[in-house]
Structure 1
Amino acid sequence: MSNSPIFIFSAGWRSGSTLLQRLISSSGKVLIWGEAGGALDCFSDSFDRYGQMLGDGNQRFKHGFGGNGAKEFSRFIEAGDKRNHHWSACMNPPAEHIASTYKNFLDHLYGQPAFDLGYSSWGVKEVRSGIETAYFLKNIYPDAKFIFLVRNPFDVILSIKKRNWMDYVDHPAPLLFYLKHWKKLANEFRTATLGLPIKYEDLVNDPTTINKLSDYLQLSDIPHDFIQESHADWESNTQVELSLIEKTVLSYMLKTELKTYHYQCPSK
């Protein structure tokens, strides 16, 4: 099994993650699986909970204080035939065993079917997951590769609107949902201490981006003409534009992020 899968983290929907997924898979060596609906976040959260139960009782974790489970397990082993008289309320298997179990599960879930199809490695792309899930996967796969993808949020929201994902015309709730989701992930990706950051605009317009991607992934077989020749995009014939109110809300709430990523609001 490959110990260096590739994980694509996209700042929300309509950011080019499927294009990037197909681009990497076109190398013929890596099969990048699609979105898991946030399931990876659930794995990450459950892993944190095991860590809490194993941690010291006076240590604060994301979900509360530690459960002393590692100490309880150690005492359980040392007690021999008297082990059942020892406190074991939060006892769990060692951390390395828990980590290897998650790895075995993901290898079987994603790796095995990819290898059965003739690929030497595998990966997953996700549009919901944030940096905590990336660090969880880095713990499980120390040699994994991570790509953090962002796209101009005005183009993202417009693409979502054209596909009628806004639910109600001029209703603010869907706009704020997608806006806040993009903002959260874009900020997390900017501060990541691992992986390769990529802007969608560079991916489709700057040929050197493919070179950077190939070098980082150590994949020499990514075709440079794939994006120009690809015809699998999900086209929309809906002729709508962002309203002045939508542009104003985006500009105000994403002021810092727009500056950080050098994105600009289209003409109002």
Structure 2
Amino acid sequence: MIRLIISAATGRSGSTLLQRICNARKETLIWGEHYGIIKDFANIYDNLVYFSEQSRNERTAFFDRNKDTGLWTANMTPELPYVEQAVINAVTAALDTLYGQFAEKHDIVGFKEVRYGERELRLLRKCYPDCPFLLLVRHPVPSWASAPTWYRDIDDFAGVWNERAGFYAEYARQDPNSLLIRYEDLVDRDPKTLKRLSEVTKVPVPDMIGVLSKKVGSFNPEPVTKEQREEIVTKCRPVMKTLLYR
């Protein structure tokens, strides 16, 4: 049932703005954040994969010996295809049920989140192979200025931004159903960005511009010192170049 997912590399990157743009279409319903619950499913998946691989010999010996109860089987776990399908079923059941409210009135239902990196997006892709992903990135300096208290320090922020923004850029090049969007191109109403976004979301460009013209819940960023800016740019420069940021 999930037919559109908005994922931002960090908070304060325009995910709510993009959510509002999508919801400008009457038949679309994009819900808000769910506090990153797919992280928990990704942990479940990793744990099950570990036990499945580690217990391979237990599993093989047990069934090769006609379920010999004299064998050690404490960690015996089904093979990987069953692990993967179990987690896929769990994720899709959770999300499709969670977002089932009002679903019958909309042909595009989805959500937006700001807490997902490679593990979570790859799991979501297994669950929804044809679902468009809108992957949002923003220049690291204003991203930091908008939400510095979300991180321990600049080093912590830079690590998160580099990992996720770098993955988003790479994944969008490889995955035909993912669209990378720079926040700056969105708010600057870049024609190419709006056109591509309109094709994916079915929201007419004039309706997008109407949403962009209205400020909702804007925050005043914290001042960034010259030293902070230099530190952020130095730590993020390789990924910034990939995204054509200066």
Is 1:155 aligned with 2:142? yes
Question: CA, structure 1 residues 221+69, in 2 after alignment: closer, same or farther (shift >3 Å)?
Answer: farther
Task: Return the match for 1:104 from 90, 93, 108.
Answer: 93
In structure 2, the residue matched to 1:44 is 42
Is 1:91 aligned with 2:89? no
Paired letter, 2:231: V
In structure 1, the residue matched to 2:169 is 190
Structure 2 residue matching 1:5: 3-state secondary structure: strand
Provide the rounded CA distance (Å) in 1 between the counterparts of 2:223 and 2:209. 30
The alpha-carbon deviation at position 157 of structure 1 amounts to: 1.7
Contact 1:69–1:91 (8 Å) recurs in 2: no
Paired letter, 1:134: L
In structure 1, the residue matched to 2:196 is 212
Provide the rounded CA distance (Å) in 1 between the counterparts of 2:234 and 2:204. 42
Contact 2:41–2:87 (8 Å) recurs in 1: no
In structure 2, the residue matched to 1:68 is 56
In structure 2, the residue matched to 1:226 is 210
Identical aligned pairs, as a percentage?
A: 25
The alpha-carbon deviation at position 213 of structure 1 amounts to: 1.4
TM-score normalised according to structure 1 size:
0.76
In structure 2, the residue matched to 1:19 is 17
The alpha-carbon deviation at position 159 of structure 1 amounts to: 2.2
Structure 2 residue matching 1:196: 3-state secondary structure: strand
Paired letter, 1:12: T
Q: Which runs of 5+ in 1 are unaligned?
A: 56-65, 168-172
Contact 1:70–1:92 (8 Å) recurs in 2: no
Structure 2 residue matching 1:254: 3-state secondary structure: helix
Question: CA, structure 1 residues 113+249, in 2 after alignment: closer, same or farther (shift >3 Å)?
Answer: same
Provide the rounded CA distance (Å) in 2 between the counterparts of 1:158 and 1:40. 27
CA RMSD of aligned residues (A): 3.0
Superposition misfits of 4+ residues, deviation over 4 angstroms:
69-72, 82-88
Provide the rounded CA distance (Å) in 2 between the counterparts of 1:99 and 1:86. 31
